[in-house]
Amino acid sequence: MYGLRLLFQKENMHQQNTQQKASELTDLYQVREKMYVATDCIIFGFHEDKLKLLVFKRQVEPLKGSWSLIGSFVRLDEDLELAGQRVLKEATGLNDVYMQQLKTYGKQDRDPGYRCISVAQYALVRVEDYNDKLESHFGARWFEIGDLPELVLDHGQMVEDALEQLKSNARYRPIGFELLPEKFTIPQLQHLYEAIYQKPLDARNFRKKVLSLNVLEKLAEKDKSTSKRGAYLHKFTEENYLQLLKAGYNFEIF
């Protein structure tokens, strides 16, 4: 609990500094009606052949104790993108992960706490890199996409929208590799895409297609966790992908 208290102390200190900076700013617009701007993070992970979502027990009123995405109000001294990165770092302990802005949610009554718009961002993290000590601090838990609890506010809609965006992007861009370990087998890659699209894929056709893209490097190592014979491990080669992209090649996984 000491780590959590320290995190809250740092947050309070930052709020005090931000309030001081806000008092020094000159509001040239002088608009009487104001609102909050927040960012909420949809954090996807892939574990045991299942696509999962990291959700949290909401720590503030209203709706305290309900399942929620992790989010924060955007501070006066930070860009929106940096706000998302801050939230992700605080929630997972991770830096430098794939993150993309999704869309803005601004219905007038979306938040009973006060008028607030939220810019959702979704991230893809490797579950094995996630700092699971933070789970007890934030009341966090990984849920399978097909078995999610009811989420507060419009967070359920955010997840639906993020999943559709993930499906669209994964078909034409190699973002799926962000969810896998650095070394993986072709069957593991297939299971990932089956989890994203929620449907089975033909193993022979999938292998033939991904190998034809020339973006995988076959390693001498084998994964023997599922059979004595084992399956060769591969690595994604970003350099080859960028060359194909520059040449106008259409990366389409299936």
Which residue reads 């709020």 in tokens? 15
Which residue reads 């320290």 in tokens? 6
Other CB atoms within a 10 A radius of the CB of residue 179 amount to 24
* Residues 148 and 109: beta-carbon distance below 8 Å: no
Strands annotated E in 21-115: 36-47, 50-57, 67-68, 70-73, 98-105
The average pLDDT across 59-74 equals: 94
Of residues 214 and 135, the one with the higher pLDDT is 214
**Distance, first Cα to last Cα, the chain:** 47
Of residues 248 and 113, the one with the higher pLDDT is 113
Enumerate the domain spans of the chain. Answer: 2-170, 180-246
Q: What is the CATH number of domain 2-170?
A: 3.90.79.10
Which residue reads 């961002």 in tokens? 121
The whole-number pLDDT of residue 247 equals 80
The average pLDDT across 233-251 equals: 85
Multiple choice CATH, 180-246, 3.30.300.170, 1.10.10.10, 3.30.43.10, 3.40.50.2300: 1.10.10.10
The average pLDDT across 14-36 equals: 71
The whole-number pLDDT of residue 2 equals 42
Q: What is the pLDDT of residues 148-190, one digit of tens each?
A: 999 999 999 999 999 999 999 998 888 888 999 999 999 999 9
Q: Which residues contact 191 (CB under 8 A, 6 or more apart)?
A: 49
The whole-number pLDDT of residue 3 equals 43
For residues 145, 148, 154, 159, the Cα torsion angle rounded to the nearest 10 degrees is -10
Between the alpha carbon of residue 141 and those of residues 137, 207, 244, the distances in Å are 11, 33, 38
Report the candidate in 24, 204, 30, 53 with the shortest Cα–Cα distance to residue 124.
Answer: 53
d(CA 136, CA 83): 23
The whole-number pLDDT of residue 8 equals 44
Q: What is the pLDDT of residues 207-235, one digit of tens each?
A: 999 999 889 999 999 988 777 788 999 99
